[in-house]
Amino acid sequence: MKIPMLNLYGQYKSIKREIDESIKNVIKNQAFIGGRYVEIFENSIARFCGTKFAVSLNSGTDALYLSLWSLGIGKGDEIITSPFTFIATAEAISRLDAKPVFVDIDPSTFNINYKQLEEKITKKTKAIIPVHLFGQPADMDEINKLARKYKLYVVEDAAQAIGAKYNNINAGNLGDIGCFSFYPSKNLGGYGDGGIVTTNKKTLAEKIRILKNHGSIIKYRNEIIGVSSRLDGIQASILSAKLFHLEKWNRIRRNIAKKYNRELKNIQFISIPFENGNVYHVYHQYTIRVKQNKRDRFKKYLEQNNISSIIYYPTPLHLLKAMQYLCYKKGNFPEAERASKEVLSLPIYPEMTDKQISCMVRIIKKFK
C-alpha cells in the first residue's frame, strides 16, 4: 500500500462542489484581485482567531516581512527567534537589514526555549518571533512576560498552527501580530501561495494594508514605498470554503496522532511527540525522534515499503550557507542540531484511512 505525506486531491474530492462553486463565483464576478471574496475571507479569519483585524497577503513569508516592517524594524535592530524552523522566519528579519538572534529549542516541543531568552536580550532587541512549530504553540505566557518587561514586540510565526490554542486562546491572538501561511500543504492550504496577518491593533493592520498595496489605499495615491503582496480572489474563495471544515480536519489530525502515539510509544528507537497540557496541538506534522544512528536507515526502509516521510529540518538555520554572515558555529545550539539529526515527520492528514494507519504501524514495528 502506498502512503503519501498528504492527499490534496482526496481533500478536494471531499468538498469538490463547494470548491468548484467558489471558483466559478469569482470568475463570474471578475473579482480577481481584492474585492468581495478577499474581504469575506479576512473577516472570517479574524473571527476564527478572535482578533479584531486580519489582512491577507500573498504568502506566509510576506506576513512575517510586512509585520516586522509595520513595526518599524530596520537596520541594526535585533530580533530573537528559533534556529529550528523554515528559513522564512529569519529571512524576513534579514530582508529588513535587522539581525536574527537565535535561541536554542526545548527538546520536548521543538519550540524556542523561553528559559534562554532573557540572556539574549540587548538594547538593540526589538521583538521576539516564537515559532509554533509543527502545530504546537510556544510557551506564550513566559514569552509575553519577558516582552512586557523589556518593551518588546511579539510576532507569532503561526504558519503551521492555524486552529491551535494556548490556554484556550487561538494562535494568532497571542502576541502583537500573528502570521499564517496558506501554502497548499498547510492545515488550511490554498491552491497556490497565500498568507495573512492577524492583530488587535488598528494602526498595525492599516500600515500592513498600505504596505502590501504599493504604499497606497486609494489607487494611484501612493503615500509610501510598499510592495505588491495581495491575495487573489480565487485563493480567498477556496480558503473560505475550506475554513468551514478546518476545525473538523484538525480534530481528525489529533485523533490520528493519538492512534500513532498509542501504537508507537513502546518502540525503543522512537520518541513520540510531546504535547503540553495547556495547548491544543493541531499536528501540522506528526514528528517523531529516531535515534541518530537509525534515522536515515529507518527513512529509507519506509520508502522501500511505499511510505513517505520528510525531515523537517535537516539543517538548523545557523548552519545554513545563507546565514553564515551571522558567524554562528556548529555547537552553538546543541538541541536544534541534535533535533535535525533525529526528527522524522510521518504522514498525517484528514483523508488518511484506518487501513493506511494500521499498515504503517505494522511496517514500522517490523523495522530492526
pLDDT, mean of residues 300-314: 98
- Which of 241, 270, 300 terminates a domain? The answer is 241
What does the chain come to in residues?
368
Whether residue 257 is found in the same domain as residue 329: yes
So what's the pLDDT on residue 206? 97
Q: What is the pLDDT of the chain when averaged over all its residues?
A: 97
Whether residue 232 is found in the same domain as residue 296: no
Distance in angstroms (rounded) separating the CA atoms of residues 49 and 199? 9
Candidates 234, 237, 238, 213; CA nearest to 223 is: 213
So what's the pLDDT on residue 149? 98
Residues with Cβ within 8 Å of 103's Cβ and at least 6 positions away in sequence, in order, are 80, 81, 82, 83, 112, 113, 116, 117, 120, 333
What is the share, in percent, of the chain residues with pLDDT greater than 90?
A: 98
- Kindly state the greatest CA–CA separation across the chain: 66
- Which of 241, 258, 291 terminates a domain? The answer is 241
Q: Is the pLDDT of residue 69 over 90?
A: yes
- Split into its structural domains, the chain has a count of 2
pLDDT, mean of residues 151-171: 98
Whether residue 237 is found in the same domain as residue 252: no
| 123 belongs to a structural domain | yes
Candidates 259, 345, 366, 353; CA nearest to 1 is: 353
* DSSP letter, residue 216: B
Task: Show the domain range for 117.
Answer: 8-103+112-241
pLDDT bracket for residue 219 (50, 70, 90): confident
Whether residue 227 is found in the same domain as residue 349: no
Q: Is the pTM of this model over 0.85?
A: yes
Residue type, 165: K
Q: How many CB atoms lie within 10 A of CB 314?
A: 10
| 3 belongs to a structural domain | no
Q: Which of 191-200, 214-223, 232-241 has the lowest mean pLDDT?
A: 214-223
Q: What's the CATH number where 308 sits? A: 3.90.1150.10
pLDDT, mean of residues 124-135: 98
pLDDT, mean of residues 69-78: 98
pLDDT, mean of residues 38-47: 98
Whether residue 28 is found in the same domain as residue 170: yes
Q: What is the dihedral of CA 211, 217, 218, 221, to 10 degrees?
A: -40
Whether residue 134 is found in the same domain as residue 221: yes
* DSSP letter, residue 273: P
Whether residue 154 is found in the same domain as residue 226: yes
Q: Is the pLDDT of residue 218 over 90?
A: no
Whether residue 166 is found in the same domain as residue 269: no
So what's the pLDDT on residue 146? 98
Q: How far apart, in Å, are the Cα atoms of 12 and each of 42, 88, 207, 259, 354? A: 22, 28, 35, 25, 20
172-187 pLDDT per residue, tens? 999 999 999 999 999 9
Whether residue 236 is found in the same domain as residue 265: no
* Cell 494611484 sits on residue: 220
